[in-house]
Amino acid sequence: MLEVLHSLANLSTPLIHGVIFLFNGAEENILQASHGFITQHPWAQQVRAFVNLEASGVGGKELVFQTGPENPWLVQAYVRAAVHPFASVVGQDIFQSGLIPSDTDFCIFRDFGNIPGIDLAFIENGFLYHTKYDTPDRIHINSIQRAGDNILSVLKHLVMSDELADFSEYRHGNMVFFDMLGLMMVAYPAHVGTVINYMAVIATVVHLGKKCMLTSSVAGWYLCDLMCAVFLLVLSWIFSLLAVLFVALLVTLMGRSMFWYTHFYAGVCLYGSAAVSIILWTHTLAKNQCYWGVSGLCRAEIWALMFHDLLPHGLAVPYIHIMFLIRVIFEVFTPIQGRNANGFPPDIFLLLLVTLATVILSSYFMHFIYLSRSTKRILAVLMSVFTLILVLVCCGLFFPYSADPSNPRPKRVFVQHITRRFHTLDGSLQSSDSGLCISDLDYTGMQHITPHIPQINDSIRTRCHDQLPYCGFPRFLTVEFLVK
């Protein structure tokens, strides 16, 4: 922010609009400083838009994950001005759904000031966020330079824009936006996206209608085959989800939950191989029972189809884009499970992400199952990987946490040395106690700590006093739903 301030102050061209640089603390006390500014500071009424700088990691690319409310001109300003764009409306949908257990100053300015803005954050290596390893030496200079280039370019564009003078004229409507591998931005109004979706549905209905207008026998066979194909596809997804869910429950019940927190690819291999195996097995069985003649009819044309039609006109670009988006989702959500003790098993959350990714990515190659002679070797490899990883997990080889200085994955525990005094309404002392208040911040609880500190087993589990603020816990933060 200081470098951006220095650059703006030394511009040769006068600024059309003023810029306020708000250096505020008290964020971890549930955003008190930003609330104080937007509700009490005399400058607050002059603010027309804002750019909020956040972090849920220690570097990498800064992701634009919230904009608005409405005011599509802000997204358009970022699209036009950002040097290294990195944004996704998916992040906005996920964050505003409440799945991420945190909040930002963006929400305070939006809810209490009714001011539109852009919310961006560093997301790389969120395992170190709010730990002793979250130190300046781990922040890459390239990350700071990249963020500075983007923020400075966007601010230069905003302070010279006509929209900022009276943004009420440009307030209506939301935007759909995303970047293409960080190379370029794509943005269009949400109502245009609705029209595109309806056009896709209409095109599908028209295509099916043309097929049904053929002779009755041909149309009947076509509809029958179509319904069978859709049924098999959905059935394979359901079987895959149920199988992976069973594996995740087994791992959780055995006390091996979050084994993937440090060994992420072990989790992907375990749940991913199970999901792919079930989908592959379901369609292989369908091919052998119902479509046994398809392979011989189509194999002769497959190579010509691949090289002359699929490659130049196929789905390579959207496939790569979806893989890029899935990687970002995993990069954001995997570290969050280390600070989210809401009682929901994180392995089930991970399997849902892995299964969803498997379903989306495998859809591009589903037809190859029906064109291959045999899938036995692929199934054997997948099941071997699954069995090996499952055995290693059950044996406890993959410990969830790591103190490796080069790549730490620490466990978070909230410890307070407290003294509590409870008073009646007339001010007299009713009761008092003191001690260590220990709150765990992830699903595994204290199971990995009590073997090393057995005294914790003798601790008293404090009950919630419903009649007292925050259950009577000595916690200034209103986040009791995140700890246990």
Q: Is the pLDDT assigned to residue 272 strictly greater than 80?
A: yes
- Amino acid symbol at 448: H
Residue 476's pLDDT band, with cuts at 50, 70 and 90, is low
pLDDT of 300 higher than 50:
no
302 or 204, which is more confident? Answer: 204
Greater model confidence, 97 or 62: 62
Confidence of residue 256 (pLDDT cuts 50, 70, 90): very high
pLDDT for 297: 46
What global pTM score does this model have?
0.83
Active site residues: 27
* Rounded distance between C-alpha atoms, residue 386 and residue 275, angstroms: 10
Residue-wise pLDDT tens digits, 29-53: 778 888 999 999 999 988 999 999 9
- Per residue in 384-420, pLDDT (tens digit) is 999 999 999 999 899 999 999 888 999 998 888 888 8
**Tokens, residue 177:** 């936006």
* CA 162 – CA 293 distance, rounded (Å): 65
With vertex at residue 302, the alpha carbon angle to CA 297 and CA 303, rounded to the nearest 5 degrees, is: 145
DSSP single-letter state for residue 307: I
The contacts of residue 70 (CB under 8 Å, 6+ apart) are 116, 171, 172, 173, 174
Domain boundaries, the chain: 2-193, 216-394, 413-482
Note the pLDDT of residue 469.
Answer: 72
d(CA 442, CA 336): 9
In angstroms, what CA-CA distances link 47 with 65, 100, 106, 109, 110? 21, 28, 13, 10, 12
Least Cα distance to 329 among 315, 359, 349 occurs for 349
Q: How confident is the model at residue 467 (pLDDT cuts 50, 70, 90)?
A: confident
- Half-sphere exposure (Cβ direction) of 96: Cα atoms closer than 13 Å: 15
What single-letter amino acid sits at 298?
A: C
Average pLDDT over residues 169-187: 82
Partnered with residue 176 across adjacent β-strands are 188
Element (H, E) at 67: strand 62-68
For the beta carbon of residue 30, count every other beta carbon within 10 angstroms: 13
Checking if the pLDDT of 141 tops 90, the result is: no
pLDDT above 70: residue 299: no
Percentage of the chain lying above the pLDDT 90 cut: 30
Distance CA 195, CA 191 (A): 6
Provide the Cα torsion 93, 96, 98, 102; round to 10°. 120
Contact 416, 410 (CB under 8 A): no
Tokens of 363: 């859809």
